[in-house]
Copies of this chain bind each other. A is one copy, B any other.
Amino acid sequence: MSNWSVKFFVFFELLIFSSFAKCGILDNSIEQFSYKLPSGESICSVPDNLVKEIAGYQDIVNKIIDEITNGKFKGQTWDSLAELTDLFGPRMACSESLEKAIDYAVENMKEVGLENVHTENVSAPFWIRGYESAQLTRPWKKNLRLLGLGSTIGTPRGGIIADVIAVESFGEFEKIPAEQVKGKIVVFVPKWKGYGETVVYRSAAASTAAKKGAVAALVRSITPFSIGSPHTGHQNYEDDVKKIPVAAITVEDAEMILRMYRRGQDVTINLEMTDFNKPNCITRNTIGELQGTVHKNESVVVISGHFDSWDVGVGAMDDGGGAMISWKAVQFLKALNVRPKRTLRVILWTSEEQGMVGAHQYMEDHKSQEDKEFNFFLESDIGTFDPKGLDFSGNSDASCILKEILKLMKPLNATEYKEPTDGGPDIEWWSKRGFPAASLLNKNEHYFWFHHSDGDSMNVWDSKDTLDKCTALWAAISYVIADLSINIPRTLVSNN
C-alpha cells in the first residue's frame, strides 16, 4: 500500500470515528482508536474530541509538574526516601524492618489524608542470609567478597574446601565430563550481555552445577560494571536436583579466577555459608487511595512500586524510589486538591524479590472482580533516574491514547513512548490479563551498576531534582488517565 493510499485511508477512518466519538465512558468493544493496516502496522486514529480533551489537561499538568519540581514539594521525594531508608534500612521480605516500614507507611499515608489506607496479607518465602565467607586458598590467599543468592542453602558446618572449575558459559560447562566436575566448586563467569540474557546464570547456576556432582556454585555478579561489590538476587533450585550452596562473587574476582583456571593455575576455594530457608512468613501489600469523584471502587488506576528490597544496601533504588514516587505522586495530588474522576490506588507490593509474591497474591485476591475494579496499572521498578516517558504494554487502541497523553509531558522533556515494557514485573500479572500497563521509562543506564548490591543507596541520585521529576511525571500521567472521560481500552482475556 502506497503512502498516499495510507493517508487517504486514515483520513476516511478518522471521519467515521469522529462521528462516533462522545464524551463520557465509552464502550470499548465498539469504539477504537487505531486501525490495523493489511501490512499489520497499526495507525493511530484518536478522534478529534478526545485529542482535544487530552490537550485540555495541559494547564493542570503544568501546575502539577511545577508544584512538585519547583514549588512546595521540591526535594520532598528524596528527603522522604532518605528518611525511610535511614529509619529502617533495607526491607527484606519477612524481616522486622520491612514490617516496621510498612507500619510507618500506613501511619504516614493516613496522616497525609490518603483514603482506604490498609494492608493485605501475603504468605511469602522466608530466606535468611547467615554467615557467609569465601577464601581463595590457592594459588594465594584472598578473601572473596560474596553474597549468597536468595533461597540458597548453606554449606555443611565447617564449610567446603574444594578445587575450582571455571567456565564462561553453560555451553562450555556442558563439554566438561561429570567425573571432572564431581566434588568441585564451579565458578560461572558469563560475559555481561544485558540483564535478561545474563541473569539465567544466577538463576540456574546451582542446579546446572549440581547435576554433574559439583559441591557448590559461584557466579560472577550480574552487572556490567563493578568496584569490588557482589550483587545478590534470587535463584531457583530445579526439582529433583540436589541442592548445593550458591553465591555471587565480584566481577573482578570471578574474571581473575577464570584467567587463573585457563592459565592452568590450581585454584582452591574455602566456602562457608550458614544461609537457610524457613517456613513462609506473613507480610503485607500496602495500599492507600485518592478516591475518585465519580468512581470509587471501579475503574481504579493502580500506581505502584515494590516496598521490599534485598538485604544489602538499603533498597533506595530497588525499589524504594519506585515505591516512593508512587506514594508521593498521590499524596501531592491530594495536597494540591486535584482529585480525578477515578480512584488512584497506590500499592506498595511486598516480596517482589522472591518472585513477585505480593503482586501475585493481589492478583489472585482481586481477579474475580477485575473487569469492574481496574482500569490501568502503573509500576516503577527499573530505576527512578531522569524520566524519559513511558514503557507501555497493552493493545494498540490503548497505545494510541497513551501517546496523546505523553504529549502533555513536554515540560518534563519526558514524552518518549516505548513498548513493550520490560520494567513491570509486579504488574505483569495484570498486563498478561489484557490490562493496559505502563512502566516508568528513565535514564537508567547505570541501574545494574547498583542493583542488589551495597551500592543501592541514596547516593545513586546526583540530585534531589531527579526524584522530583519522576514524581511529577508519575502524578501527572496517573491523574490524566484517572480523570479521562473514557477508560483506557483493555484486551479481554479469558478468566482462568
Contacts and interface: CB of A to CB of B under 8 A. Distances in A.
B255 A458 contact: yes
A120 B256 CA distance: 31
Interface string A126-147: 0000000000000111100100
A86 interface: yes
A101 B87 CA distance: 48
A312 B142 CA distance: 9
A456 to B, nearest CB: 8
B83 A228 contact: no
A493 interface: no
A288 interface: no
A467 interface: no
A418 B455 CA distance: 35
A263 interface: yes
A251 interface: yes
A445 B225 CA distance: 16
Interface in A220-254: 225-229, 250-252
Contacts of A263: 83, 86
Interface string A70-86: 00000000000011011
A224 to B, nearest CB: 11
A252 B140 contact: no
Nearest to A311: B142
A229 to B, nearest CB: 4
Contacts of A259: 82, 86, 458
B86 A260 contact: yes
A459 interface: yes
A174 to B, nearest CB: 26
Nearest to A459: B252
Contacts of A453: 227-228
Interface string A250-283: 1110011001100101000000000000000000
A97 interface: yes
Interface string A85-119: 11111000000010000000000000000000000
B142 A89 contact: yes
Q: Identify the interface centre among A251, A255, A265, A459: most chain B CB within 10 Å of its CB.
A: A459
A450 interface: yes
A260 B458 CA distance: 13
A377 interface: no
B82 A228 contact: no
Nearest to A145: B454
A320 interface: no
Given A139-B87, A265-B86, A256 B226 contact: no
A255 to B, nearest CB: 6
B89 A455 contact: no
A314 interface: yes
A314 to B, nearest CB: 7
Contacts of A457: 228, 252, 255-256
Contacts of A145: 454
Contacts of A458: 252, 255-256, 259
Nearest to A257: B86
A313 interface: yes
Interface string A441-472: 00000000110011101110000000000000
Q: Identify the interface centre among A97, A145, A251, A454: most chain B CB within 10 Å of its CB.
A: A454
Contacts of A228: 227, 229, 312-313, 453-455, 457
12 contacts: A82-B259, A87-B139, A89-B140, A226-B227, A226-B455, A227-B227, A227-B228, A227-B449, A227-B454, A228-B312, A229-B454, A252-B454
Interface of A: 82-83, 85-89, 97, 139-142, 145, 225-229, 250-252, 255-256, 259-260, 263, 265, 312-314, 449-450, 453-455, 457-459
